[in-house]
Amino acid sequence: MSKNAFEKFSNPAVKGAKKKEMFKQAKRKAKAEAREQGNQFRAAAKARRENRNGFEATPTTRPKKFSKQEHDSEVNQLKQWANEYGTEKKAPVSPKKTIEKAPAAAAKGARKFSKAGSEGRPSTQQKIGSKPTTSFVKKAETSNAEMPLNKFVAHAGICGRREAAELVREGKVTVNGDVVYEPGYKVKPTDTVKYNKAVLQAQQKLVYILLNKPKDFITTTKDPQGRRTVLDLVKDAAEQRIYPVGRLDRNTTGVLLMTNDGDLAQTLTHPSFSVRKIYEAKLDKPFTKKDAEAVANGITLEDGFVQADAIGFPDAGDKCIVGIEIHSGKNRIVRRIFEHLGYDVKNLDRVLFGSLSKKNVDRGKWRFLNEKEVGQLKQMQATKGKRKKAEEFLNENK
């Protein structure tokens, strides 16, 4: 809506209810224009997808909305069908009911489980450091769907997606006896994949662990120098091979997610997704207002420009303790920001990663994520993926 649309309201001759009504009409018109622009954007995106797949684009129309009276009539019809067909035959499913219910479930971001599919849900009352009575179970890929080779290797629990791609490029993975060097090679369910002469099977059980990392532990799966790693803290947590999502310095403490879900790990660590992170830093001297403004406005380090999303003091009486929110995934970024301004970081603690906090988890302890927390991470993964595709589309069509 342009500013000119409101210039007429500055006329002192127009007052009271008439002025309000004019304002409402202008708002309605602006909203209608915004909706039209949104519809055009979605139609263009759909046309682009269909043309890419070799199909002719067709005009898009929204599904019909049904009133409560029509919905109740549909429910009564379904009951009547159920009585006629009995328990052995299935009543026809109405598309109206699906249209009515689907948006509500999507708005809540809820994931519904059937009776058969609920066996893999973990208890929301897990004790810290205890094994789960059940694990999340991913549906077995029994269809004819193909999977990229590096993804297959990662799902087999060998390593993460990026490390799996390196193994493939180095020629350490074979498919049906032949060495494959392309990480994106499509693997069929009937193919035999081997690594170090061992047949790999794509994992189905997904494990999600939140660790409150202590000092003097390396955030990696193994260390050539024999130093302690974060896997030593969770070695009895699960039978599946898990790995840390992202990295924390050896002397940095706080929230660390560990999982065997390669897709989620790739989303949370990819720079384009900009996952939110909050740190609490203890400095060797009070942090000045001038330096706080510099960090908020952005500073240039040796590897480029970086800007904090927010910065402040958790305790107004102690200027040596600084809270900083940042989404950059650059190596040692928080320490380098303060060191660039002449401060020595005595302690650095990550208190938030995405939607996860270290609340009720003591230093060096861990716990399994509950169903709600996993759902939030998956929702964030889906939302950021859609946003990224929209940005790519806008950049291509500028």
Which positions are annotated as active-site residues?
249
Helix (H), strand (E), coil (C) string for 45-112? HHHHHHHHCCCCCCCCCCCCCCCHHHHHHHHHHHHHHHHHHCCCCCCCCCHHHHHHHHHHHHHHCCCC
d(CA 367, CA 126): 7
d(CA 128, CA 358): 12
Summarize the chain as % helix, strand, coil (round to 5).
40, 20, 45
- Residue 220, helix vs strand vs coil: coil
Handedness of CA 150, 255, 322, 251 (dihedral sign): negative
User: Residue 246 region, left (φ>0) first, then alpha (ψ -120 to 50), else beta?
Assistant: left
User: Residue 120 region, left (φ>0) first, then alpha (ψ -120 to 50), else beta?
Assistant: alpha
Residue type at position 107: A
Residue type at position 257: L
